[in-house]
Structure 1
Amino acid sequence: MEIFGVDIGGSGIKGAPVDLDRGVLAEERYKVLTPQPSEPEAVVDAVRQVVDKFQWKGPIGITFPGVVVDGRTLTAANVDQGWIGQDARALFAAATGCKTAVVNDADAAGIAEVAFGAARGRKGVVLLLTLGTGIGSALFTDGVLVPNTELGHLELHGKDAEKHASSGARERHEWSWKHWAEHLDDYFGMVDALFSPQLIVVGGGVSRKHDKFLPLLKPLRAEIVPAELQNDAGIVGAAMAARSLAL
């Protein structure tokens, strides 16, 4: 079965049809820049461009960088505040003409990694953290998702943790990998103490360069591994969230 997945990020919006039997992209993904400012009308139009590129007419799943409950976007930390309280599912469905599911971006990446990637078959508490413009999180117990955890907004040193430890913070401050790893130690140590996960999966675009920073981290009780689907995880998980729309 193929379902279309779209991943909305702070810097880019990318999408592709997904082969849900194998958990891989069925075609090369297409990406456009996230509009600035990232107001609803502009982002919806960008998503429509991505979907139209493939002339897709079936169900689509779309990630959103914030809390999503029943298709509504309730927070918007790294996109325009105009998203707060929007019926995103209705907006995207109207623009694309497709049946639509909307899911938190990190939750989408997490369900993909649990089904097809680094957390496949793992029992107990598993935490996926996406390091990008901000920090997204997906928390699982025995493979079951606890949605919308948004652990990037835990307070660390008096501010949102993602201001202290995201990949975006590393780029803004031009930190070395070693210096960034020290910030990650603070954050990973905090979530390890709070949730006692058996496994922490590190995702987001920077996971492609995991060899530059994961070996620098202090050991934790939790095993820390890079995401296997890397930056495709959001697209795959978005498509998985829309699977029921095709039945």
Structure 2
Amino acid sequence: MANHPSPAKLSRVEKATISRKLYHELVARAQLGPAEPALDIFIPQLDAIAVRLDAHVFGKKAAHAALAAHADKAEIVDDEVDTWGRHIGSFLDIAGRRRHSAFASAARALHAAAFPAGLGFLDDRIPDENTRMRGTLTVLRAPEHAATLVGIKLPPEWIDFLEAALDASDQAYAERVAARGTQGEHVHKGRNAEAEWVHLVGRLRKYVESREIPGDVEREVENRALLAPLNDAIAHAKAVAAGRATRRKKAVEPAGEVPAA
């Protein structure tokens, strides 16, 4: 038979669809008989590979949606960390600038201990920012600074809000990382399933072609029908690719010269 274009370039969705169509063709033939174990063995294999391909198609989409949702959540709760960090940092800075406060010096010392490099780290990556903010929280919670916080009247709930925001941010970032891992797992396992599909349909095609009997038109028609879902999809993909190549070629070709009047 003539060489066939490779089925490997078909999309994962197309591979799953072709698997189901091949499955139905083989099931219909098996129901009519006669039994042909070497051909019928492909029926459960095609069913299984279609299920796997579908699982990774929809699983990847679901994981991508979850990743986007967790990314949005991580940014929202990070904004909470930034907000309460700025509230507290600014409050300490203002308290330390007072000219007639008995706690001004202590406020400056607390500000330096809690935010030794200022607030610039709030633009760092979320896990790095949260690690540094945890250090700030530890300083703010230290017993030796309790009197200073009361003296400058820093609202104690602000520190609680900062801690709650940090907990939520760490959780959201962990969920984001997990979603990214799930998406990557579907990509990896999906590629493995596609490689197995290529091998499976290759074996099916070789077996069906081996069934040909010279001069047996009925067997030839049956073989074409059994492989039609695969061959038709490949032919369509090949035609689409050729059309795109032609359009690209025309797009880069220089315009013809305008004939002289």
TM, length-normalised to structure 1: 0.21
> Which structure has greater strand proportion?
1
> Which structure has greater helix proportion?
2
Q: Which has the higher contact order (CA 8 A, sep 6+)?
A: 2
TM, length-normalised to structure 2: 0.20
